Structure 1
């Protein structure tokens, strides 16, 4: 699946396992902002 950072609009792939580990929160690798990817 893909998600998009709402801050810098970078798109990247994420797995269901990654989403479930942090209750949907991920950190963008480009701008370092944390957001809910659900």
Structure 2
């Protein structure tokens, strides 16, 4: 997933594994994803 705008546009692309790890972390914390 490529972020091309906003504060995080300078970061390198995330791998699918990294995205999955982020989602798992957020869900485990009970935070909203939007």
Scaled to the shorter chain, the TM-score interval is 0.3 to 0.5
Under a length normalisation based on structure 1, what TM-score does the superposition of the two structures give? 0.34
Q: In terms of Rg, which structure is larger? A: 2
Q: Pick 1 or 2: higher relative contact order, CA cutoff 8 A, min separation 6.
A: 1
Under a length normalisation based on structure 2, what TM-score does the superposition of the two structures give? 0.35
Instruction: Give the structure with the higher percent helix.
Output: 2
